[in-house]
A and B are shown apart, each in its own frame.
Chain A
Amino acid sequence: GIQVEQSPPDLILQEGANSTLRCNFSDSVNNLQWFHQNPWGQLINLFYIPSGTKQNGRLSATTVATERYSLLYISSSQTTDSGVYFCAVERSSASKIIFGSGTRLSIRP
């Protein structure tokens, strides 16, 4: 099956810093999403981005489908950005979403 790898596994930053999270996947996909899981377990949809670039406030994401990776950028980090960020992909031939193992981000005040 398709493999999804996220890096780094853990990231600790000071408030105001910028960060880049990476997601590599092993096969072509027709769906890629980034999620933020808060401390209460809620998965918040950040981006639906099977290809191209999108921006939403301090967050932006880029997926290069031909090279099988996606990047999530967080600028001017705030403590509320803390949590686990997941990348999830879906292959066109399979009706299931595969999650990476996540990046745990901790923003220190």
Chain B
Amino acid sequence: DAGVTQSPTHLIKTRGQHVTLRCSPISGHKSVSWYQQVLGQGPQFIFQYYEKEERGRGNFPDRFSARQFPNYSSELNVNALLLGDSALYLCASSLTGSGNTIYFGEGSWLTVV
């Protein structure tokens, strides 16, 4: 079975632009969560979705939004990009989103110039 897949793997954007990152969870998993990891730090929680409903939100500005589709895949959108948004964006999937093992994709490396 395929693991968690993310796309694109690398991308470069200009300040002020918008970016969409995509994630497909492990087959059978209904929860997807998103994390931002800047260099030298641990991943920071952004959003969690379960059965297409938002379950949790971290301390990120409204420029960050996400959604989950009927097939349980997910998109993370970031508007009005700032230099500080440069980071590794990680998607994780789990069966139900609480009290389960979570599995991460390989991430999307975003550079904002």
Name A residues whose Cβ lies closer than 8 Å to a Cβ of B: 30-31, 33, 35, 40-43, 45, 48, 50, 86, 88, 90, 92, 94-102
Contacts and interface: CB of A to CB of B under 8 A. Distances in A.
Contacts, number: 63
A94 B56 contact: yes
B90 A43 contact: yes
Given A41-B88, A88-B43, A95-B48, 12 more contacts: A40-B106, A43-B43, A43-B104, A45-B104, A48-B101, A88-B102, A94-B56, A97-B33, A97-B35, A101-B41, A101-B42, A102-B42
A31 B99 CA distance: 5
**What 6 A-B pairs are tightest by C-beta distance, nearest first?**
A99-B42, A95-B56, A43-B104, A95-B55, A48-B101, A96-B45
Interface in B73-99: 88, 90, 92, 97-99
Contacts of B99: 30-31, 50, 90, 92
Identify which of B42, B56, B58, B92 gathers the most chain A CB atoms within 10 Å of its CB: B42
Interface residues of B, number: 27
Contacts of B90: 41, 43
B16 to A, nearest CB: 26
Interface in B32-81: 33, 35, 37, 41-45, 48, 50, 55-56, 58
Contacts of B25: none
Nearest to A29: B99
B42 A33 contact: no
Contacts of A92: 98-99
Contact of B102 (A40, A45, A50, A98): A45
Nearest to B88: A41
A45 B103 contact: yes
B67 to A, nearest CB: 16
A88 B44 CA distance: 11
8 contacts: A31-B100, A42-B104, A48-B100, A88-B42, A88-B43, A95-B48, A97-B45, A102-B42
